[in-house]
Amino acid sequence: MKELIDPHQAQLLMLGVFCAAPLIGLLWGLAARRVGRGLIIGLLVGGGNYALWTIYSAITDKLGLDTVRNLLTNLCLFVAIGVVIGIGVGWFASRGRAGAADQGGEDGNVARDRTG
């Protein structure tokens, strides 16, 4: 029985995502007028996806595709990475809100006194 895609094709697909994600992030940044942020997000998504694919592939090659040990190892790995990413995003988001509050409000506008 022939596979739908072989490991070489999957590797090429992940390399394509690795190359395309920064370009998509750059275009997204241009549209939102935040080129730097879009490029950084694209680099993080592309690089992170390729790194996770490489780690997943190495674990699966070592432990076997259809084993409970492989499933639990990858589950723990991806949950841990998700927690770290979630904490990082929450931390950066709270820093942005704190900076906006220092400038007078969440949206950066100075609050007006409505008495009188």
Q: Is residue 116 part of a domain?
A: no
Domains contained in the chain, number: 2
CA distances from 101 to 42, 92, 96, 97, 114 (A): 28, 14, 9, 6, 18
Domain region containing 80: 65-111
Q: Could you say which of 45, 63, 81 is where a domain stops?
A: 63
- The pLDDT tens digits along the chain (116 residues) read 788 888 889 899 999 999 999 888 888 888 888 888 888 888 989 999 999 999 999 999 999 888 999 999 999 999 999 999 999 989 888 887 766 665 655 555 555 555 65
For the whole model, what pTM was predicted? 0.69
